[in-house]
Amino acid sequence: MTDPLIVARNLRKEYGDLVAVDDVSFEVAPGGSLGIVGESGSGKTTVAKMLVGLERPTAGRIEIAGTDCSAPAKGWRERSRRAQSLQIVFQDPYSSLDPRQSVGDALREVLVVAGLGRDRTQARARELVDLVGMPERVLGSRPSALSGGQRQRVAIARALATEPRCVILDESVAALDVSIQAQILNLLADIRERTGVAYILVSHDLAVVRHVTDDVIVMRYGAIVERGQTGTVLDDPQHPYTQLLRESVPRPGWVPGAGATT
Amino acid sequence: MSVAQVASVVRTRRRSRLSHLGVIGWLALAVIVVFVFVAAFGEALAPDDPNAIDIAYANVGPIPGHPLGFDDLGRDLLSRLLVGARSSFVGPLALVALSTVAGTTLALIAAWRRGWTDATLSAGFDIAFAFPGILLAILLATLFGAGLAVAVIALTLAYTPSLGRLLRATALRETGMEYVKAFRVMGYSDVRIVVRHVLPNLMPFIIAQAIIMFGYATLDLGGLSFLGLGVQPPTADWGVMVAAGAPALLQGYPTQTLAAGTCLVLAAVAFGVLGDRLARMWGVE
Ligand SMILES: Nc1ncnc2c1ncn2[C@@H]1O[C@H](COP(=O)(O)OP(=O)(O)O)[C@@H](O)[C@H]1O
Ligand SMILES: [Mg+2]
């Protein structure tokens, strides 16, 4: 068996008296995919923020590609080294891009910061918009000229720009129309096949997780209540909370994978 | 519309055209353009030597070639007014530039570092804000002697915390945006994120505040010059002229004080209105 790409051990996060994340452990293999589900407030985003170094765990250990990443990076050198391993796409497509920056400038800046020569950034930026299924002319567009779905594609392109080994998607399709959600989820599956990138997909929506991930953990009040292969857990949930989650999210009119047959 | 969409609309509106200034806004802009022109070319525009004393003409009213008449020393009032524009704006310009740079830097540091840095700076803002600038100016003038430089420094110490406080709140909102978090995860340095992304997004707010501040600065520095703590006579300066005209005012020759005072107030109002209109136009009140 290959070494896991990401290891989280006994992660805990307290905000004052509130325990937002309580003894959470999981692994993600290179090229693997993990879903994290749970209702709002169950601690999913906090786990994601600790993984990318935006929050410091109260306790526990994080290893990414064999390196200890338990605490937020000190200084930008370490920050930019970690950036090569793990990226994140946030939920809100309206605030996750700098409103003053064109799509092309945004992509080129990531590439320049990552050390790609300026002469090669233009070509790579074109590749990236192509990878997320957008026409080249969006390179000149400001975010305000794009729809939510388009912005989220740009955010995904930006996260993939430096070819990280894993991307976290924190409710990244939640704000989008169902048909756009399906398109983007299919895009993610497609990109994974082509590039071998691993995903951690955070969602309160079981259908979304089922569509993209192999394994899943179910969180409640900061703790994991159930874990296993996505199909098994969602088809035959053992924990009453998972059963409840499954019943409480009816998605009439949307069969996973429909809307996306190309 | 979701909150996110509303936020997006607000951000788009920031770039709206100058046509949204409104009549009042355009009027204010026109007044400012005239003042700036006079400040730049006042000496060339002045029909007479602003410092030529001729007691024979003391407090003489308008005569051909001297449309505003003369002051108590027989100097041509119009010329002094035109030449005085520069002195009346150089001080505020320095004051606004210094306070804006200092206030912006401190606000960005507070918003970026958060935690105890923010708490310390905010407390500093509150304390400094409570201390009256005029009092500070009097104190510094007693210690270092009266003059424009001392007045500008004193008012910079008073203006910096008020801009700092205002901007900190806005900067906190901006640094909390997800794009800032995304840039950190993407390995951007703090300096890059703040200077190339956060600061440019705050510029509409900063510019509007600086223009509003300029209005206050003309009045406050004019006031200090009036009190003898700023620009010193016999330099032609509106604040100095308001004070110099006071004795004549009591003798029934109000022209000098009225003319200089009107210029000061007009400038203050014009900058205030323009700053306010710009802030509204950019959605950054
Ligand atoms: N910065 C913070 N300060 C205090 N409490 C927080 C903070 N961030 C999250 N929380 C709390 O931690 C809990 C988990 O939040 P979060 O991880 O965002 O949940 P989820 O992403 O599953 O909706 C919630 O109760 C939330 O209110
Ligand atoms: Mg969340």
- At A48-73, the pLDDT tens digits run 999 999 999 999 999 999 999 999 98
pLDDT over threshold 80, residue B5: no
**Mean pLDDT, chain A, whole residue set:** 89
Inter-chain touch B185–A94, beta carbons under 8 Å? no
Work out which ligand 1 atom sits closest to the CA atom of A40.
23
pLDDT at residue B213 tops 60: yes
Contact B38, A170 (CB under 8 A): no
Using the Cβ of A137 and the Cβ atoms of chain B, whether some distance falls under 8 Å is answered with no
pLDDT of residue A259 exceeding 70, the answer is no
With beta carbons under 8 A apart, name residues in chain A contacting B4: 92-95, 148, 175
Q: How far apart are CA A258 and CA A261, in angstroms?
A: 7
Contact at 8 Å (CB) between B172 and B112?
no
Please state, for a pLDDT cut of 70, what percent of chain B lies above it. Answer: 94
Check pocket membership of A223 for ligand 1, CB cut-off 6 A. no
What class has domain B85-281?
A: mainly alpha
> If you average pLDDT over residues A20-29, what whole number do you get?
96
pLDDT at residue B34 is higher than 80: yes
Does B101 have pLDDT greater than 80? yes
Domain ranges across chain A? 6-99+150-230
pLDDT at A25 over 60: yes
User: Given a cut of 60, is residue B13 above it in pLDDT?
Assistant: no
Structure pTM? 0.86
Question: Would you place residue B217 in the very low, low, confident or very high pLDDT band (cuts 50, 70, 90)?
Answer: very high
A84 to chain B: which residues are within 8 Å by CB? 187
- The residue contributing the CA closest to ligand 1 atom 2 is A15
Q: A41 in ligand 1 pocket by Cβ < 6 Å?
A: yes
CATH class of A6-99+150-230: alpha beta
Contact with chain B for residue A64, Cβ under 8 A: no
* B118 vs B100: CA distance, rounded Å: 18
Q: Which helix (H) or strand (E) holds B116?
A: helix B115-130
- C-alpha distances out from residue A95 to A88, A149, A239, B110, Å: 14, 13, 36, 21
| High-pLDDT (> 90) share of chain B, % | 72
The percent of residues above 90 in pLDDT, for chain A, comes to 60
- What are the structural domain ranges in chain B? 85-281
pLDDT at residue number A173: 86
Residue nearest to atom 17 of ligand 1 (CA): A43
State the ligand closest to the CA atom of A44: 1
Interface contact flag, B11 A144, Cβ < 8 Å: yes
Nearest alpha carbon, ligand 1 atom 21? A45
pLDDT tens string B56-79: 998 888 899 899 999 989 999 999
In angstroms, the CA B71 to CA B50 distance is 10
Residue B4 pLDDT > 60, yes or no?
no
Q: Whose CA is nearest to atom 12 of ligand 1?
A: A20
Q: With CB atoms and an 8 Å threshold, state whether B185 touches A88.
A: yes
Q: What is the pLDDT of residue A258?
A: 42
Contact between A87 and B7 using a beta-carbon 8 Å cutoff: no
pLDDT band at B7, cuts 50/70/90? Answer: low
Indicate if the pLDDT at residue B284 is higher than 60. yes
Reported as a pLDDT band with limits 50, 70 and 90, residue B2 is low
Mean pLDDT along residues B151-172: 94
